[in-house]
Amino acid sequence: MRSRRGLAGDSGMVTAELAASLPVLMILLGVALSTVSVAGQRVRAADAAREAARAAARGDSGAAARLVTQAAPGAAVTISRSGDRVVAQVRIAVHPMGGWLPALQVVERAVAAAEPGELGGQSAPEVQSAPDGQSAPEGQSGVPP
């Protein structure tokens, strides 16, 4: 049988263990939330790229830029055409942990078959859109490096 005196030496151990492990648990929670945020932005970018590729395959590059802005606000889109394929690439800057960490670039790409008669068998120039929905000059993606 234990005496009450033996238990008195263990008082405060749980508090000390919790105080030592709490910062680690908070960091793990932050990493988990950041991972979910990045995964969500990847899904948004993939959806936006798919919609942009479909619209550009129909020959409507203006609608492609609008769809990207609606599906993924703040994203930049690059649409290129080659032969019978249309490729849309969407970039989004993700700021994990509320901006405490450096931004990550999420890039997703989608390919669609061009509608017959839209390209006439020729390669069309690249179309790019900046994050504000305006067209960017060729060679500029609208997202800072």
> Over pLDDT 90: what percentage of the chain?
43
Phi, psi at 77, each rounded to 5°:
-120, 145
> Over pLDDT 70: what percentage of the chain?
73
Q: What is the pLDDT of residue 5?
A: 54
Give the pTM.
0.69
Q: Which residue, among 29, 140, 27, 6, has the nearest Cα to 78 in the 3D structure?
A: 140
Which residues are registered as beta bridge partners of 78?
Answer: 89, 128
Q: Which residue, among 96, 78, 98, has the nearest Cα to 88 in the 3D structure?
A: 78
- Per the CB < 8 A criterion, the answer to whether 75 and 133 are in contact is no
Q: How many CA atoms lie within 13 A of 102 on its CB side?
A: 3
Q: From the CB of residue 131, how many other CB atoms can be counted at a distance below 10 Å? A: 21
